[in-house]
């Protein structure tokens, strides 16, 4: 009897792992109305993504390998639901990739904004009369980078 429900249990574990990756990425990429720090996708999340992909294959391998030991009603159910369960797993895997990409993209933008704010603050310190007003350094590269970032955001 335990062999009969093993593929369904393995599929449920794969779905839970996929959902965990999606939720973690959504929570870590959440920003409020003001710009807050968004963290890059961590290595444990990437490893969990890979584990979820491997575990998504497990139910199908179990059915293929142990089909003689699985009871007829369960085997018929697995055969009937095979395509639907595979579709769910594929949609979850693609969703994982999308939210991981979105989190990485938001983290990159947050980092660029932080660097831009830091650079702008450094520029204003020089205007404060601390002796750097006569400095002949050219900060045009910094200003052009900020202009490109502003144009991209609009």
pLDDT band with cut points at 50, 70 and 90 for residue 110: confident
Q: Give 61 or 29, the one with higher predicted confidence.
A: 61
Per-residue confidence band for 29, with pLDDT thresholds at 50, 70 and 90: confident
- In whole angstroms, give the CA distance from residue 84 to residue 76: 14
pLDDT (0 to 100) of residue 131: 47
Structure tokens at 111: 């980092």
Contacts of 89 (CB under 8 A, 6+ apart): 11, 14, 15, 18, 56
Q: What CA–CA distance (Å, rounded) separates 12 from 80? A: 17
Report the pLDDT value the prediction gives residue 107, as an integer from 0 to 100.
Answer: 87
- In Å, the largest CA–CA distance within the chain is 87
pTM of the predicted structure, to 2 decimals: 0.69
């Amino acid at each position: 009897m335990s062999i009969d429900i093993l593929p369904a249990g393995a599929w449920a574990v794969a779905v839970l792992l996929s959902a965990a990756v999606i939720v973690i990425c959504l929570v870590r990429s959440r920003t409020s109305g003001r710009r807050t720090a968004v963290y890059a996708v961590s290595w444990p999340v990437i490893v969990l993504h890979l584990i979820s992909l491997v575990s998504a294959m497990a139910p199908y391998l179990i059915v293929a390998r142990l089909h003689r030991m699985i009871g007829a009603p369960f085997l018929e159910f697995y055969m009937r639901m095979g395509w639907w369960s595979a579709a769910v797993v594929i949609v979850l895997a693609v969703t994982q990739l999308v939210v991981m990409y979105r989190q990485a993209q938001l983290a990159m933008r947050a980092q660029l904004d932080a660097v831009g704010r830091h650079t702008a603050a450094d520029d204003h310190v020089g205007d404060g009369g601390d002796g750097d007003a006569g400095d002949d350094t050219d900060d045009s590269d910094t200003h052009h980078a900020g202009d490109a970032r502003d144009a991209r955001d609009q």
